[in-house]
Each structure stands twice: as structure tokens, then as C-alpha cells.
Amino acid sequence: MSQNYTLEPGYIDGALGSLFTMHYRPNKLTEDTECFVVAPSFAEEMNRCRYMCTMLAQSLAENHYAYLSIDPFGTGDSEGDFIDADWQQACADIITAVGYAKKLGYKKISLLGIRLGALQVMQIVSSIPSLTRIVFWQPVVSGKTTLVQFLRIKIAASIGRNEKPGTIDEFDAQVAQGDSIEVAGYDVSPGLYQGIKSANLKDHLDFTSVPIAWFTTLNSVERKTPRAELDVMDKWKQAGAHIDHNIVIGPSYWQVHERTLVPELVTATVNYILDNKL
């Protein structure tokens, strides 16, 4: 099979240690080649999204787009343990990845924000000049709501075991004391916990010139786009944002057991990008 790209794994220097990057470099590079830098979700969601990301990267690269993923400090194959992972540091690491993409020669750089990664994209967007576009996959609107869902995994995991499940309020108090909290094998630091909790898409209005492609995956045609997502889109559009909302029907790939894939989302995203050259 002929391939239009080269896979270049590597490490770059971050503020706290080496960061693992995966670069899909198209063989045909021009001034116009657009590079997608990924802001991933985190913990188990990051794992469950990984194969979808690989499929997207391959498909984009086949179509002469570049793709650069980074594992923020303390996650994936980067240095540091998960307990070292921190919200602000993850944002800084994505900026580092954007800088690396520039160093690789890309003139057009875009950000792909997946789930919580979307909140990180919005946090850093104003510090990245001349971003080409933003792509969202199932963006998290409220970090707080998502944190509650994440903590519920801890409660749900205690089902069937002889453990006291604990409550969200107890977890909150534990973190407020400066302790980390273990959820599904991930030691979440207070910095990560509070960063997620205080992030909300509605707080960001400072990006209006960057076009946004927003992909919502719904389980079936009977389901509707969550109200919270529509509210943010309305608010941003009123502020002058250009948003293309795309709906794809498929399973919740960020949530359900591994290898649940939505190839339709990959196809829809790549076709959208091919149809909307910037």
C-alpha cells in the first residue's frame, strides 16, 4: 500500500520534562500544508479516544494534511506520572506543541480539541497568533459537570466491592486539603482537579476571528444536541464567531469500552476540512 505520509514519533522539551509527540508528516509539503495540533482529553477518556485519533491522523495525512499530537506532562508516554499532570501545564504543553509545529515549518496551524481538550484550546487560543481554525470533537462545555461524571466513575467502581463509595462532597473536601484523589487508577492532582472544575466554554469569547468546526456525535437520530452545547454556540455566534456545527450519528467513542469507533466522524471531519480549505 502506498502511503502519502511518514510517521515521526519523538520527544520534545517541555517546561518540566520530555514530551512525547507523534507527527504525521505528509510527503507532499507546501506553504499551504495545514497542521492539526491535538489537545487531547485526559485519563480514561484519552485512552478511549486514542484509536479514533489515529484513524483521523491517518486519514488527514493521506489527504496531505499534517497531524501532531502531544502527550502533556504526566500523561501518555511523556515524562512524569499522572499525579504530576496539571491543567495549566497541559495548556502550556499544547502551546509548546504549536511552537514545535511552527519549527517543523508549518505556516498554517489549527487546533483539534477533544472533550476537555476543547476547554484547553479555548484557554490558549488568544496566545496563539493567526490560528487557521479550531476543530472540536464532543467538546466539554462545563468542566464541573464533567468532573462530577468522572468522580462518579469512582463511586460506580465501588459497586460490588466492599468499599465505602464516598460522595462528591467528600472528594471535593479531600482535594481542598491539598490531597490528590484516585479515580479508576488515575491519581488526580489538586491542580488538575481544580483546573477542570473551573473551566467552562461559556467564559471564552476572545477568539471570534478563528473559524470553528464543531462535531457532535449523537447515539441515534432520536437524540438531540445537548442544550449546553447549543447555548454556547448561540452565545459565540452572537459575539461574531463563525461556527459550523456538524452532527454525526454513532456511539459515544470517548466513553464506552475500547475499540468502539465512529469511522463516520473521521470521514465527516476530513470531508469537512477538504470542502472548507482555509
CB of residue 47 vs other proteins: minimum separation in angstroms? 10
User: Under the criterion CB under 8 A, does residue 219 sit at the interface with other proteins?
Assistant: yes
The span of 15-23, 103-111, 115-123, 162-170 binding other proteins (CB under 8 A) equals 162-170
Q: Binding residue for other proteins (CB under 8 A) from 7, 184, 274, 278?
A: 184
> Between residues 78 and 216, which has the closer beta carbon with respect to other proteins?
216
* Residue 64 φ/ψ region, left for φ over 0, alpha for ψ in the -120 to 50 degree band, beta for the rest: left
* Three-state secondary-structure class, residue 228: helix
User: Under the criterion CB under 8 A, does residue 159 sit at the interface with other proteins?
Assistant: yes
Q: Do the bridges between strand 134-137 and strand 212-218 make them parallel or antiparallel, or are there none, so unpaired?
A: parallel
CB of residue 123 vs other proteins: minimum separation in angstroms? 24
* Residue 178 φ/ψ region, left for φ over 0, alpha for ψ in the -120 to 50 degree band, beta for the rest: left
Stretch 98-127: interaction string toward other proteins, x if CB under 8 A: ------------------------------
Sign of the CA dihedral 63, 4, 45, 126?
negative
The secondary structure of 15-83 as a DSSP string is: SSSEEEEEEEEESS--TT-EEEEEE---HHHHHHHHHHHHHHHHHHHHTT-EEEEE--TTSTTSSS-GG
φ and ψ at 217, to 5 degrees?
A: -100, 125
Q: Binding residue for other proteins (CB under 8 A) from 16, 44, 51, 64?
A: 44
> Between residues 184 and 274, which has the closer beta carbon with respect to other proteins?
184
User: Under the criterion CB under 8 A, does residue 149 sit at the interface with other proteins?
Assistant: yes
**Helix-then-strand count for the chain, H and E:** 8, 10
Q: Binding residue for other proteins (CB under 8 A) from 3, 6, 252, 271?
A: 252
Q: Binding residue for other proteins (CB under 8 A) from 27, 126, 127, 167?
A: 167
For residues 87 and 196, the answer to whether their CB atoms sit within 8 Å is yes
User: Under the criterion CB under 8 A, does residue 153 sit at the interface with other proteins?
Assistant: yes
CB of residue 260 vs other proteins: minimum separation in angstroms? 5
User: Under the criterion CB under 8 A, does residue 160 sit at the interface with other proteins?
Assistant: yes
Q: Give dist(CA 58, CA 218) in Å, integer.
A: 24
For other proteins, the binding residues (CB under 8 A) are: 44, 48, 149-150, 152-157, 159-160, 165-168, 184, 219-220, 223, 226, 251-252, 255-257, 260
